[in-house]
Amino acid sequence: MNALKFIVWTCCAVGLGVFLASGKVDGRTPLNHMERAWNRSVNTSTVDRLKDGLEDAYEDAKDAVAGNKKDSSPRERISAEDRAAVNRIIAQKK
C-alpha cells in the first residue's frame, strides 16, 4: 500500500513538473510567468548583497572553526577574574 502511494505521488509530482515546464497558459509556460513575476518584484541588487553577506559570514565562521585566524592565537574566552580564581586554586593545590 505504501509503495502504491509513493508511486502515485511521484507520478503527480512529475506530471506537475512537466506541466510547469511545458504547459501553455496565456501563451507562456507557468515557469515563464513565475520568472517574469520574480524579475518584476525582486530587486536583484538586494538579493546579491544578501547573498554576499551570507557568503562572507560563512567564510568567517569556517575560518573561526578551522583556526585560520591572522594572529593565530586562540581567542580568550575566560575573563580576568576567572583566570585569577583559577590561578588561586592551582596555587592552593601546589
Give the span between the Cα atoms of 60 and 25, in whole angstroms.
46
Domains of the chain: which residue ranges?
2-68
Is 69 within 8 Å of 63 (Cβ atoms)?
A: yes
C-alpha cell at 7: 508511486
Whether the full predicted model's pTM is greater than 0.85, yes or no, is no
One-letter identity of residue 53: G
- Give the three-state DSSP class for 28: strand
| pLDDT tens track for 44-91 | 787 788 888 888 889 888 877 876 555 556 666 788 888 899 999 999
